[in-house]
Amino acid sequence: MIPVFTREFLGILRAPRSIWALLAAALAFSSLVLARWPAGDLVDLSGSGSRGAFLVFASALLGGVLLLVPAFPATSIVRERNKGTLLLLLNSPLTGRAIYSGKFLGVLAFAGLMLCTTLPAAAAVYAMGGVDPLRQIGLLYAVLAVVAILATTIGLLVSTRAASPDAAVRITYGLVFAVAFLTLAPHALTKGTNGIYALISQWLRRLSPLPVVMHLVGQGGSVGGGILEKDSGVWQFLVAGLGLSAVLAVATMLQLNHLLFDRSRDQGKITDDQSTLVRWFRRLVYLVDPQRRKSGIPVFLNPVMVKEFRTRRFGRFHWLLRLAAVCAVVSLLMTLAATNGTMDWGVETIGGLLVILQIALVVLLTPSLSAGLISSEREGGGWNLLRSTTLSGWRIASGKLTSVAWTMLLVLAATLPGYLVMTWIKPTMWNQVVLALISVLLAVAMTLAVSAAVGAFHSRTASATVTVYVVLMLMYLGPLVVWAFRDDPFGRPLVERALLITPLGAALSVIGMPGFAQYQLLPAAWWVAGITCIVALVVFAIQVWRLLKPE
Amino acid sequence: MNAPAENVLDIRNLSKKFGDFTALDNLNLSLRRGQILGFIGPNGAGKTTTIKILVGAMRPTSGSATIAGADCVRDARRIKRLVGFMPDTFGAYDNMRVREYLDFFGAAFGIPRRARTKRIDEVLETTGSGWMQDRYVEALSHGMRQRVGVARTLLHDPEMLILDEPANGLDPQARIEMRDLLLKLAGMGKTLIVTSHILPELSRICDVVAIITQGKLRAFGTLEQIMRDLRQRRTFEIQLCAPERVETVASAVREALEPGERDSVKAHPHESLVRFDTARSDTELSVILAALVGRGLDVAQFREIPKDLEDAFLSVTRREVPAA
Ligand SMILES: Nc1ncnc2c1ncn2[C@@H]1O[C@H](COP(=O)(O)OP(=O)(O)O)[C@@H](O)[C@H]1O
Ligand SMILES: [Mg+2]
């Protein structure tokens, strides 16, 4: 176990990205606290200023752990398997358990190091007064440690199963965010009801660190004993998180053996060679059969674009159709729920939820498609082949970008029925819907351009994907965090400026989502998005040109 | 076929530096249409660097190279049409079948769809890989990949094929098949540049061989010419009865040889042997032998070591290794 641990830990430390992560964490947290430091010499005894600082500190820490930690375990095993060193480890006297613990502790040691860089900031928050060192700050770190453990076990499990490092990164981030945020959704829907669903959703909610951290922050005034009382959820979260981690860890250890290498290659079965019956059956099931022999790429299409669709698992038509169908159904259901009055949401709230659904799709899907546009070619050796063809840099760049743009437009088009029903219920909303849709389109363009540009500077798809997700989460969730604290620490001008960063705020405000309606964001938000988009595209084009030119 | 005797490839004083390190040092080469050039040298000799310059993926520090009159730096687009390039890595794409893979590269070269379909059938046929057209590229074995790689370079019907280590890592059977494939391509009138770090691997089918080590061209010509040059410098062994006088014999031989040949004299006390390379004739050698015997040194045997291809390669590549 010791050799695996040292190698893992040192390996992480040697990577430039970890140094950046550490530096960024230390810098961000010290500047955060400095910015909130009381202006006068007097310590504010009521503690409201420091509570604000603690709130910002805690949410930033949670965000930092959720964004940075999963990247390391996610690539850890799959990269070793693909490079062949995992086979060497398995052939050594080390057991699966020892390999697992070594990797697990290596990643955790790094996470611990990162948390340590934030301790000075925590001390500063404490020095401002009004925050309990043990029951608030101490428990906050305990909660964060469990979040890190959970993220690590999820990442390692995904890493043993995934086919490539970048797939592992995507799936791990998806799961970690699902555990952190999606677990809250059922509870939000069943709140106030009784029965088995309410109970299950109550339990699911325990897995999310979000309510726990909010609770710790909110308890500033009554240090008395409120935190440890039964329904604060802190202990339940710690127990549930550690329990789930243990289950995941055991599941992963059981898989760490030679069977990982016992996978058969795809023999390339093709529908065209099968009987008519099978062919018709497959046509009915898939509509567009993925295993049918493709016809050649038509001359009027950019071959790079077609190639991008064909090489993506989810770029194949049958998957796009499924995705579009799911989006259409969800958007319709949401709107119908509003018309039936089963939930007393206004049309504006439904509109807001539709916007959030669309933007969430954009932010989650776009990077997985566009972060690796260039790096996957460089990684797989395709870049040298592309360079040796007569394709111009312009065709390569535009083919790649349009392949993502079409996919996203298709997915978004599928969510349009929801808006149609909405304007049918309340025809006066037509204008707002158009403005919101323009904002969403701008969000697509900006997200695509930014993730392509940021990803193009990486030679590995896994690290490109991580960086792009971190950048986008900061861009999209950052303003929302500021918005969430619009009354207490932050004032209206700051919130308004923060919401300008992404078109999400503009879309929500024009559709009239409660809480956003009061901000005037258009047309400034469009200008910001448009300029960001253009700058990112130029950067992307320059990087493509640089990579194509002779060394 | 216009003027078969003209040079398709002309490399003049080509040099490439990476910082202080000289990867290619004043390379001069030329090749005629329809010939196969074996570009041979140990790992790190500068073969891939040369090739990358030829296909326009790298800029030379100085010197020039032209392919069929097109300058490798300035006429990048024409070079791409003239050359089919297979790098030493395959470049697989996920979820793509062999046929789709070839279709993509055909389309990238702007071949219209009809002609492309026909062309793909032809190159699959030529490389004998038709049976794997529905396989997924990432699931191909190494030998299958090399065939698909060659098929890909043939798509746009280039005049010249540049293949980087096509036989590397292939089993003996697949290596023979690769050799046959290369001969077939030469038979179709293509000019071929094929690199290898093993001389015997491909040299027998090459019209000309260039041996390169540490960025310098060591030998260039037909295989017979190179072998003849090498044979002029023969290797001899003097077998003694006992190990004690090995050093004495070695220094006596050293004194008798030209200054340039003295470094090659090696004493091997364990085997009671002295080995040396020389270009001297048999008569001159008999004088040396007589002198040794005359000094009472107990020579048991005096013999010439016959050289095969591999020795030739080793002796060339070893010769100018700078002293550590
Ligand atoms: N981009 C580069 N930067 C620095 N050194 C390089 C670069 N590419 C190759 N080299 C060095 O140049 C030498 C020749 O490399 P290469 O042409 O790849 O050799 P080979 O004959 O094995 O193909 C090697 O010593 C290699 O380390
Ligand atoms: Mg090489």
Rounded CA-CA distance A18/A11 in Å is: 10
Residue pair B45/B214 in contact (Cβ under 8 Å)? The answer is yes
Identify which has the larger pLDDT, A173 or A281.
A173
DSSP-assigned letter for residue A136: I
pLDDT in tens, A45-104: 455 566 677 877 888 888 888 888 898 899 889 988 888 888 888 888 888 888 899 999
Which parts of chain B have pLDDT scores under 70? Answer: 1-5, 230-231, 307-324
Query: Can you tell me the mean pLDDT for A218-228?
Result: 44
- State the Cα–Cα distance between residues A348 and A423, nearest whole angstrom: 11
The alpha carbon of B48 and the centre of ligand 2 are apart by a number of angstroms equal to 4
| Least confident interval from A31-45, A123-137, A184-198, A457-471 | A31-45
**How many Å lie between the alpha carbon of B308 and the closest alpha carbon of chain A?**
37
Taking the C-alpha atoms of residue A370 and residue A178, their distance in angstroms, rounded to an integer, is 22
Q: Across the interface, do B83 and A388 touch by the CB < 8 Å criterion? A: yes
Mean of the pLDDT values across residues A15-28?
78
pLDDT reading at A338 higher than 70: no
Structural contact between residues A411 and A324, judged by C-beta atoms closer than 8 angstroms: yes
Backbone angles phi, psi at A227, to 5 degrees: -65, -40
pLDDT at B303: 86
Interface of B with A (CB under 8 A): 52, 55-59, 73, 76-77, 80-81, 83, 85, 87, 89-97, 99-100, 103-110, 112-113, 116-117, 132, 134-136, 139, 152
Considering every ligand atom, which ligand is closest to the CA of B57?
1
Strand-pairing partners, residue B38, are: B194, B209
pLDDT of residue A543: 96
The residue count of chain B comes to: 324
Average pLDDT, chain A: 83
What's the rounded mean pLDDT across residues A350-377?
A: 87
Contact B224, B214 (CB under 8 A): no
Among residues A492, A543, A539, the alpha carbon closest in space to that of A520 is found at: A492
What integer is the mean pLDDT of A161-176? 88
Nearest CA to ligand 1 atom 8: B49
Q: Looking at ligand 1, which residue's alpha carbon is closest to its atom 9?
A: B49
Q: At what angle do helices A2-14 and A16-36 cross, to 10 degrees?
A: 70
Q: What is the pTM of this model?
A: 0.78
CB atoms within 10 A of CB A407: 24
* pLDDT of res. A74: 92
Q: Which of A59, A50, A74, A243 is nearest to A151 (CA)?
A: A74
Cis peptide before B259 (omega within 30 of 0): no
User: pLDDT exceeding 90 applies to what percent of chain A?
Assistant: 26
Contact between A319 and A313 under an 8 Å Cβ cutoff? The reply is yes
Residue nearest to atom 7 of ligand 1 (CA): B18
Query: Does residue A1 have a pLDDT over 80?
Result: no
Distance (Å) from CA B212 to ligand 2 centroid: 12
Give the per-residue pLDDT at A532. Answer: 96
| Secondary structure class of A94 (helix, strand, coil) | coil
**Out of B58, B59, B107, whose CB is closest to A297?**
B107
Q: Can the peptide bond before residue A523 be classed as cis, meaning omega within 30 degrees of 0? A: yes
User: A168-182, A278-292, B248-262: lowest mean pLDDT where?
Assistant: A278-292
CB count within 10 Å of CB A141 equals: 16
A456, A54 Cβ separation under 8 angstroms? no
Q: Which residues line ligand 1 (CB under 6 A)?
A: B 18, 21, 23, 41, 43-49
Which SS3 state, helix, strand or coil, does residue A170 take? Answer: helix
Lowest mean pLDDT among A68-72, A294-298, A536-540, B42-46: A294-298
Residue A351 has pLDDT above 70, yes or no: yes
Nearest ligand 1 atom to the CA of B52 is 17
Q: What average pLDDT does this structure show over A272-291?
A: 75
CB contact under 8 A, B99 and A299: no
Which among B18, B20, B216, B321 is the best mutation to test ligand 1's pocket, defined by most ligand atoms within 8 Å of the CB?
B18
Confidence category of residue A288, pLDDT binned at 50, 70, 90? low
Dihedral angle sign, alpha carbons of residues A84, A85, A88, A90? negative
B76 CB neighbours in chain A (<8 A) are 550
pLDDT of residue B309: 62
A165-169, A217-221, B99-103, range with greatest mean pLDDT: B99-103
Q: Worst-scoring range by mean pLDDT, A142-156, A335-349, A354-368, A412-426?
A: A335-349
| pLDDT tens column, A420-464 | 878 887 888 888 889 999 999 999 999 999 999 999 999 988 889
The CA distance from B55 to B78, in Å, is: 10
* Other CB atoms within 10 Å distance of the CB of residue A547: 19
